[in-house]
Amino acid sequence: GQQLNQSPQSMFIQEGEDVSMNCTSSSIFNTWLWYKQDPGEGPVLLIALYKAGELTSNGRLTAQFGITRKDSFLNISASIPSDVGIYFCARRRGDDMRFGAGTRLTVKP
Amino acid sequence: NAGVMQNPRHLVRRRGQEARLRCSPMKGHSHVYWYRQLPEEGLKFMVYLQKENIIDESGMPKERFSAEFPKEGPSILRIQQVVRGDSAAYFCASSPPFRFQTINSGANVLTFGAGSRLTVL
């Protein structure tokens, strides 16, 4: 019930392409977060979502909190080589924070 | 304001030795989380602590692993009698206490350290 299903597991795209990934759960949550992990580093917060239906942008990144509060997606437009990394969704219920398995993004120049 | 500090960044141990990983949370953060990341895998929750209290250790292996967050000093993740399967990156994250009145706030997110990479020979 508390497991997050993140997809796709990995993506290989050409520079300039748009990317879309999503996260679903069978439970309702108050907060959805998207993190990016560069190789050899810790995850860094990209976008935080707090309301059902909320759509938030951060540069070329756009994320939405699903209306049912059980899912979220992250879009990256016009990908560049430095977008390479692992993207994690995370959900928070109170102090409990859990992460999806990650989407590994490879961008070919 | 320094971020979450983890040390050592890299640790090599032989089978049977002990590994101690340290995490100093951000200033003002009272909550510490530990996650383990195996090669090519995601972040697996291990334990969540407040000062002097373990709140949730449901992700921690029952044997050989322990965590503490003393009143003074960093949080410590301790692995006794390490085995090859313990080789992984261990990430610490911290946050201030969750408060419902700041639910729509950047205060309710985790800030991660750079990780400690344990290699067991």
Structure tokens at A42: 């810790």
Question: Closest to B98 (Cβ–Cβ): which among A50, A95, A99?
Answer: A95
Q: Which of B6, B30, B110, B117 to mutate to test the interface with A (most CBs of A within 10 A)?
A: B110
Q: Read off the pLDDT band of A45 (50, 70, 90).
A: very high
Q: What is the pLDDT of residues B14-59, one digit of tens each?
A: 999 999 999 999 988 889 999 999 987 889 999 999 988 999 999 9
Q: List the A55-58 sheet strands across, edge first.
A: A4-7, A19-25, A71-76, A61-65, A55-58
- For residues B114 and B106, the answer to whether their CB atoms sit within 8 Å is no
Q: Does pLDDT of A29 surpass 90?
A: no
B95 contacts in A (CB within 8 Å)? 95, 97
